[in-house]
Amino acid sequence: MSRWRISRVRVSIPTVVWITTIWVLLWGELSPGNIVAGLVIGLTVQSLLPLPPVGYHGRIRPRWLAYLIFRFIMDLVVASFQVAFLAFTPRHVPHTAVLRIELRTESDLYLFITSEIATLVPGSVVVEALRRNGVIYVHVLDLHRVGGVESARKNVLAIEERVLKALASDEELASAGIELRAMK
């Protein structure tokens, strides 16, 4: 006869609130039923699909975080126009490539944030991320537009540097070889 063991389930209140908020936004109506359904779904998801905790030992620097967000928005706008221009010039054949980029940190959190920002900017997509050694593979839509292989690689490393300056601890910055100096 086998026994069922019930292990302790850890529930993250912020995650449940986040899932509930997304649920209510998806339904488009703030009602008690939607809120209760979102709470039930949030608790169920965390109980059935627990995620390992992601360690964060960094320090949030508000000015660098604001700069990270500002640069992301600027990159998003500029790249959107560049990709739209590419779509409306049918004779131009873009030279695509998949680049292997070794990041300076192996932290899952910084790898994830860097990959997401690089993917959300039109014209590049992270196709694989290897967390064991901090390597990401990025597909670039048009190498000529970004200035070649090295320029594309430097752009992704610049994203990582902004992420680290905004969120990493002083020790993590030092181990990545990044100097935190005043913004221009």
Model confidence pLDDT, tens digit, residues 31-50: 999 999 999 999 998 888 87
State which H helix or E strand residue 65 sits in: helix 62-87
Q: Assess whether 92 and 26 both reside in one domain.
A: no
Asked whether residue 83 falls in the same domain as residue 125, the answer is yes
pTM greater than 0.85: no
Share of the chain above pLDDT 90, in %: 58
Task: Judge if 165 and 75 occupy the same domain.
Answer: yes
Domain hosting 139: range is 62-176
Buried b (16+ CB within 10 A) or exposed e, 34-61: beeebeeebbeebeeeeeeeeeeebeee
Would the pLDDT of 4 be above 60?
Answer: no
Q: How many domains, the chain?
A: 2
Same domain for 44 and 66?
no
**Residue 5 lies inside a defined structural domain of this protein:** no
118 lies in the same domain as 165: yes
Domain membership of residue 93 (yes or no) is yes
Co-location of 67 and 135 in the same domain: yes
